[in-house]
Amino acid sequence: MKTFALLLAATSAVSAHYTLPTVNGAPAWSAVRQAKNWQNNGFVGDVTSSDIRCNQLSPGNETVAVAAGSSVKVNVNPNAYHPGPFQSYLAKVPEGQDVNKWDPTGAVWFRIYAEQPKFGSQLTWLNAANYDVKIPPCIPAGRYLMRNEHIGLHVAQSPGGAQFYLSCAQIDVVGGGSQTPTDLAAFPGAYRASDPGILININYPVPTSYVNPGPATFVC
């Protein structure tokens, strides 16, 4: 009886989690680097771990072409179930580096999207299965890694309680401009466990503002 209850609890916990396996409908884990949670749908809890970069298990083997200024459809499977923000970052793959293998260490990431909740008797988030993220129209053409994450804040009132669901997509930006993105950040490094958007009780008192963790969002 006890074992049965434990199994049930474990099963429901797993089904409540999710992965980010594809962008723009590409086959799962091809244009998105296969993440360590691809089978168990688990999360990264330690923002100082290298897993907070891409939670990567294996390299990618494809890129998705996207016009600068248009949107990338980022899939969350089954959907971004937990309350919390969706955020996206880009890092330009340096000349001469293999897009499938480049390890984006150091301050190479700029943020392009940070979801804000609606405020009221509770915080309301998109909690979507697909997020359309606009690529800034002014950034240089070329290959980029796109780090997409959803942060589960349901038990974030305890240090280390926030749950990071993330993966890194490989995109080829076509068109674009010549503006140099600012506010570059490193993963790990961009977040602290004590950041107000990471260590937060979203239930009581219900917040009237939300500070997204990470650097300022780059705007052209």
CB 159 within 8 A of CB 199: yes
Of 47 and 54, the one with the shorter C-beta distance to ligand NAG is: 54
Sign of CA dihedral 120, 118, 160, 43: positive
Three-state DSSP state, 12 = helix
Interacting partner of 186 out of ligand NAG, Cu ion, none (Cβ under 5 to 8 A depending on kind): none
Of 66 and 80, the one with the shorter C-beta distance to Cu ion is: 80
CB 190 within 8 A of CB 109: yes
Interacting partner of 138 out of ligand NAG, Cu ion, none (Cβ under 5 to 8 A depending on kind): none
How many Cβ atoms are within 10 Å of 174's Cβ, its own excluded? Answer: 13
Interacting partner of 160 out of Cu ion, ligand NAG, none (Cβ under 5 to 8 A depending on kind): none
With binding defined as CB under 6 A, does residue 29 bind ligand NAG?
yes
- In the set 6, 14, 16, 127, which binds Cu ion (CB under 5 A)? 16
Q: How far apart are CA 207 and CA 48, in angstroms?
A: 26
Total residues in contact with Cu ion, by rule CB under 5 A: 2
With binding defined as CB under 6 A, does residue 56 bind ligand NAG?
no
Interacting partner of 159 out of ligand NAG, Cu ion, none (Cβ under 5 to 8 A depending on kind): none
- In the set 50, 61, 79, 217, which binds ligand NAG (CB under 6 A)? 61
Q: How far apart are CA 45 and CA 158, in angstroms?
A: 11
The residue assigned the tokens 């006890």 is 2
Footprint of Cu ion (CB under 5 A): 16-17
